[in-house]
Structure 1
Amino acid sequence: MRTVLLTGFEPFESEPVNPSWEAVRALDGERFGSAPGDPDGPDAAIVVARQLPCVFGAANDAMADLLDALRPVLVIAVGQAGGRPEMSVERVAINVDDARIADNAGAQPVDVRIAEDGPAAYFASLPIKAIVRDMRAAGVPASVSQTAGTFVCNHVFYGLMHLLATQGVPAGVRGGFIHIPYLPEQAARHPGQPSLALATMIDGIRRAVATALATTTDICEQGGQTH
């Protein structure tokens, strides 16, 4: 059976919870593409959810270990983006760490390349616009995002795509990153900040997995911004 790897992060910046981990762990063990009477058929896939540390370097080391151990066909990393009003399917990861705050190990790199031998950026290999379309059709607020920031989320997104491009993982493995908003209980501690219900975020990620497994060529429709 094929494996889909979903990753979320541990809490950071004094938050007691990280919605990325709460959402992906709810999907751990969920199956996709199973035919009636043939749950382990060639199109079947099972989700494996794992938590990453919110630590530069260590998060990418953990991702590399997971890719080696699980040999997934699809990898979607998920992270918290407090202040965003909807699920953000990321288009591009850039080769820089520039931390506004320290990570959970106290590191705060500024203007540091993630991979010395890597390109300036990688595009996600997920069908990002089809995912946004299908999330919206299911009533999940979503959009294409043009920046994953420069903290540990972008660090992992870039590290994942660099591993897929350079480390000899099985051909055809696709990967990308989705940012999700605060949970309502987090937004209550941050007046004026938007949030989404956990059930909505779980459904959005579920739609992302289903669409990515079923879609080999992304749709072509507007997904950009003017600024």
Structure 2
Amino acid sequence: MTRVLITGFEPFGGESVNPSWQAAALVAAEPPAGLTVTAVRLPCVFGESVAALRRAVRESGPDLVVCVGQAGGRAGVTVERVAVNVDDARIADNAGAAPVDEPVVPGGPAAYFSTLPIKACVAAMREAGVPA
């Protein structure tokens, strides 16, 4: 059985819900065959979310980690190929911080690349009727 950790975020920016957490919780409640899924809700606070993710990985020992976020205004699911190692807030987080051009991981690489087969993920979602 493959162990999956899926994360979403708590509400922020004055919203009462965060669709990323709703999606993660739904997947964990009814996992696909062959998977055991643990969902973790991350705080919308710069620095704290990374620490909470690292804790969740240590505690659950997953084979796969899928981090889900919200990108307001997008009409479909976007699978990210690259995560740039920069915090640059458009709005303040839930603790009031709004960093500009600060590294997420000081001393880390400029970017992190996903190891997921991005195009296959998008094709599978489209085949299932999910806009992606």
Task: Say yes or no: TM over 0.5.
Answer: yes
Q: Structure 1: 5+ residue runs without aligned partners?
A: 34-43, 143-227
Corresponding position: 1:18 with 2:8: no
Give 2:38's aligned residue: 48
Which residue identity is paired with 2:50?
N
Give 1:105's aligned residue: 95
3-state SS of paired residue (1:87): coil
- How many angstroms does 1:95 deviate by? 1.1
- How many angstroms does 1:31 deviate by? 4.0
Corresponding position: 1:27 with 2:17: no
Distance 2:64 2:106 in 1: 26
CA RMSD in angstroms, aligned pairs only? 1.2
Distance 1:127 1:118 in 2: 23
Which residue identity is paired with 1:95?
N
Distance 2:31 2:84 in 1: 32
- How many angstroms does 1:14 deviate by? 0.5
Deviation >6 Å, runs of 4+: none
Give 1:119's aligned residue: 109
- How many angstroms does 1:29 deviate by? 4.4
3-state SS of paired residue (1:27): helix
Alignment of 1:44-193 (within 5 A): 44-142=34-132
Which residue identity is paired with 1:122?
Y
Number of aligned residue pairs: give it. 132
Distance 1:57 1:126 in 2: 24
TM-score (norm 1): 0.56
Give 2:8's aligned residue: 8
Question: Percent identity over the alignment?
Answer: 58
Distance 2:32 2:40 in 1: 18
Distance 2:131 2:44 in 1: 26
Distance 1:118 1:97 in 2: 13
